[in-house]
Amino acid sequence: MEEFLPVLKKSSLFSGVSSDEIRGMLKCLSARMKCYKKDEFIIRSGDYIHSVGMVLSGTALIIQEDFWGKRSIISEVMPGTLFAETYACISSVPIEMSVVADSDCEIMFLDFNKILTVCTSACGFHTRLIQNFLSAIAGRNLVLTKKMQHMSKKTIREKLLSYLSAESLKSNSSTFDIPFNRQQLADYLSVDRSALSNELSKLQAEEILNFNKNRFTLKEQGPEGYL
Amino acid sequence: MEEFLPVLKKSSLFSGVSSDEIRGMLKCLSARMKCYKKDEFIIRSGDYIHSVGMVLSGTALIIQEDFWGKRSIISEVMPGTLFAETYACISSVPIEMSVVADSDCEIMFLDFNKILTVCTSACGFHTRLIQNFLSAIAGRNLVLTKKMQHMSKKTIREKLLSYLSAESLKSNSSTFDIPFNRQQLADYLSVDRSALSNELSKLQAEEILNFNKNRFTLKEQGPEGYL
DNA sequence: TCATTTCTGTTGTTTTAACAACATTTTAAA
DNA sequence: TTTAAAATGTTGTTAAAACAACAGAAATGA
């Protein structure tokens, strides 16, 4: 496990924990490591999850199959990233997605109950571990909630204004930069790129906003009822 | 606080904890209670959150204001329900919504750090509390992730099939009941009700599915490329 | 610098959804 | 049972988005 300490140190789960302490914790958590060949299943849809997984090397894909067998890729998991943590918290519900090795990879599993239960051998950083774990889940929550607010709007215009408004408020300024290019923004909002560009142009023509590359300015007086 | 024990017992946070134990825990957690008049702010957007809130009586609204000052109601919080728990986990990020009393109400606040740090006076159920707390957050995560998968589809047809496929898989059967009426389903997927009804009729005509009231049956052979 | 690629904006056409209005069915109440 | 109300399905019209195709701008790198 020693060779993966750099990965672990950078991971959100062990953030703020020194290498020495990580070593101790891995023992206290009885961390298990397992290797997978490309295309091997790491988790199968329907499994009941009691361990949290972390990719140490290689990459894994989180995939889902619908009723008709159509596969879709939910996300890619890179080294240092947790997966299945939500289902580990709710072990009574079977997981509804699969995790597959996208390349040969090494995965570390941590028993959820051991993460949760503070060990008797006063392991100083256990609270920190729980806190990091909570932050990881809560962080995802935040991201999802925010995205949902934009996506639940029906028109591109509304989605855009919802997103830009949020970015503006976050930066505390009516002028701000966004971290997406047009295609990424379109993907994020689940709309067509050119339709998005088109809508942006209209909004500028109507003087609801200005933009230049990734810098946007919202006008204080959006025309009455911009929705 | 005694009068609210029935509410607390039913809450997700104290699920599986006896009244006596709840009493002890509230002390150990130094729970604070505060009353609010209708329309009073309980949390203001921009606040840094260090406590988790729970409604004991009355109801509260979670609201948000966009750049132009347009308010929207995110959700209603009923007795026994936690709020602000996500932001309590990530206290470095200011909350981006406000919580307002929708009627006169009584709110309990629990210091997040006290929830997290197992008390010295071996409080037997503290691990259970942390587990419940985690479950609450992870549960919301699950709900959001699932909804997002449907909503990220572009057409009503795709959204519907994504939702119905998920329901079918959940129930392990091609025939299943859904918990929404048409309007609720339309709201859930953020689409127009009549357009949804229309699309359902088309899907039935194309023999991709059958439905009767809230009972749906997906056909094993959806025509090639139903997307 | 020039060439190439990527990104962005624009336009026209086709497809889809929103919306409104109404018919039919179902449910609940009197 | 009859009536009223609510829920659901249907249709036509209007509005909006998807899509495709392309032009110009910006970024990249040889």
Say which CATH topology domain A2-114+125-144 has.
Jelly Rolls (2.60.120)
Closest CA to B15 of B132, B118, B114, B135: B132
Categorize the per-residue pLDDT at A121 as very low, low, confident or very high, splitting at 50, 70 and 90: low
Instruction: HSE, CB side, 13 Å, CA atoms: give it for residue A156.
Output: 18
- Residue A67, pLDDT > 80, answer yes
| 3-class SS of residue A208 | coil
CB A208 within 8 A of CB A226: yes
Domain with CATH 1.10.10.10 in chain B: 153-218
Residue A179 CA to residue B179 CA, distance in Å, equals 38
| 3-class SS of residue B61 | strand
- Residue A192, pLDDT > 60, answer yes
DSSP notation for B145-166: HHHHHHHTSSSHHHHHHHHHHH
Task: For chain A, give the percent of residues with pLDDT over 70.
Answer: 94
Closest CA to B126 of B11, B24, B31: B24
The reply to whether B210 Cβ lies less than 7 angstroms from strand D is no
- The distance (Å) linking the CA of A196 with the C1' of C14 is 18
Residue A103 CA to residue B208 CA, distance in Å, equals 36
- Residue A116, pLDDT > 90, answer no
| Region of poorest pLDDT, from A83-87, B116-120, B143-147 | B116-120
* Residue B123 confidence (pLDDT): 66
| 3-class SS of residue A156 | helix
- Residue A58, pLDDT > 80, answer yes
* Residue A220 confidence (pLDDT): 78
Domain with CATH 2.60.120.10 in chain A: 2-114+125-144
CB B12 within 8 A of CB B91: no
CATH tag, A153-218: 1.10.10.10
* Residue B24 confidence (pLDDT): 86
Average pLDDT over residues B90-100: 95
Residue A121 CA to residue A129 CA, distance in Å, equals 15
DSSP notation for A10-77: HSSTTTT--HHHHHHHHHHTT-EEEEE-TT-EEE-TTPPP-EEEEEEES-EEEEEE-TT--EEEEEEE
- Residue A122, pLDDT > 80, answer no
Query: Which nt is closest to the CA of A213, judged by C1'?
Result: C8
* Residue B183 confidence (pLDDT): 87
- Residue B28, pLDDT > 70, answer yes
Which residue of chain A comes nearest to B146, CA vs CA?
A: A96
Which residue of chain A comes nearest to B74, CA vs CA?
A: A149
Token digits of residue B96: 């981006």
List the beta bridge partners of residue A217. A175, A210
Categorize the per-residue pLDDT at A118 as very low, low, confident or very high, splitting at 50, 70 and 90: low
CB within 8 Å: A151 and B151: yes
The reply to whether A198 Cβ lies less than 7 angstroms from strand C is yes
Query: Which of B66, B90, B169 is the closest to A162 by Cβ?
Result: B66
Residue A190 CA to residue A192 CA, distance in Å, equals 7
Among all protein residues, pick the one whose CA is nearest to the C1' atom of D16.
A155
CATH tag, B2-116+123-144: 2.60.120.10
* Residue A126 confidence (pLDDT): 81
Residue A163 CA to residue A175 CA, distance in Å, equals 14
Closest CA to A54 of A125, A114, A107: A107
Residue B144 CA to residue A141 CA, distance in Å, equals 8
* Residue B219 confidence (pLDDT): 87
- Residues of chain A with C-beta less than 8 angstroms from the C-beta of B123: none
Categorize the per-residue pLDDT at A225 as very low, low, confident or very high, splitting at 50, 70 and 90: very low
The residue whose two tokens read 């109507």 is A206
Provide residues 180-199 of B with CB closer than 7 Å to any strand C atom.
191-192, 194-196, 198-199
| Region of poorest pLDDT, from A94-98, B192-196, B222-226 | B222-226
CA angle, corner B155, sides to B151 and B161, nearest 5? 70
- The distance (Å) linking the CA of A42 with the C1' of D1 is 63
| 3-class SS of residue B40 | coil
- The distance (Å) linking the CA of A194 with the C1' of C13 is 14
Q: What is the pLDDT of residues B41-67, one digit of tens each?
A: 999 999 999 999 999 999 999 999 999
